[in-house]
Amino acid sequence: MLLISTEGILRYDGKSFTNLTSKINSNGFWDVLEDRKGNLWLASVGAGVYYYDGRSFKNYTTKDGLAGNSVFKIYEDRAGIIWFGTGDGASRYDGKTFRSFKAYEEPPRIQPAPALGPKPFSNINTQWLINQSNNTTNAILQDKAGKYWFGTWQDLYVYDEKTYTSATKKYGETFKNIRSIIQDKKGNIWLAGGFGLWRYNGKSFTNFTRNYIEYVYEDSKGNIWTTSQSDNGDSWALSRYDGKSLSGKKPVATKIISAGGGLFGIFEARDGSIWLGASNGVYRYDGIKIENILKAKKHLWDNLIR
């Protein structure tokens, strides 16, 4: 299992943690992807992307064609193409060259960050949060039909490899500061961010909560999990929406844990337990009890992946 902490990218083998990035000079990391070949891609704050083949690291930046050096999301599509969501748009890498995509073709418009989501971490370079462009891309998904969904700071866009479609213009819904996009087993698209939690069934959007949602995840049983922040920003919660109730008018939501600090990435292990990255460690939920297995030895604040 790989974990992102303020100390770098950590590998957990079930007994101990190994820091894979102790020799990399970076302000921090936002995301990590293990591709289908077993190689690692690391999204850094201000230093571009690092590629790790198990032996050595290679760094890609705007000099190599990457759209921006602050990278927030890494995604592998069905063809094995690697996509990067950056502060200046999205980039795709086919193994040889980068190609960049921007929903806004005009120069990026700089604006103050809206009062959405968690407060910046004190030990992370937060200039990206102060000067967000409308092309900042935090979430990427290729749906079952092959279309790409880009969650940007300003809006939600669907790209069919020819044109961009704005959700605001097409559906009249406003989505800002999109943090996470997934497609569930039934084909529904789930959106999470500063606007709350929404589901799109192919025809219309349904809202589940207006609270800030950092992460949305579907487990093997079809349950939807979220990490959310309260309206006043004082507390966070890990919640589970029962998969069997999602088709009804009153979905059953259960708050599993609440905390004063941040709750972020969610991951289901092979044994069915749910792992959670938090500001005071790493939690494991076995369906009955919650255990903090790290107890603030490391400050985990984003995705947990296999």
Report the pLDDT averaged over residues 278-295. 84
Max distance between CA atoms of the chain, in angstroms, equals: 52
Closest CA to 242 of 231, 234, 250: 250
pLDDT at position 264: 85
- In the numeric block, the tokens 């602050």 are attached to 70
Model confidence pLDDT, tens digit, residues 245-262 = 998 778 899 999 888 778
pLDDT at position 301: 43
Calculate what percentage of the chain has a pLDDT beyond 90. 50
| Homologous superfamily of domain range 177-306 | YVTN repeat-like/Quinoprotein amine dehydrogenase (2.130.10.10)
Phi, psi (deg, nearest 5) at residue 32: -145, 140
pLDDT at position 197: 95
Q: Would the pTM of this model clear 0.95, i.e. be above it?
A: no
Model confidence pLDDT, tens digit, residues 174-195 = 788 899 999 999 999 999 998 8
Higher-pLDDT residue of 305 and 35 is 35
Model confidence pLDDT, tens digit, residues 36-84 = 999 999 999 889 999 999 899 999 999 999 999 999 999 999 999 999 9
The CA-CA-CA angle for residues 179, 282, 265, to 5°, reads: 15
Half-sphere exposure of 196 (CA within 13 A, CB side): 12
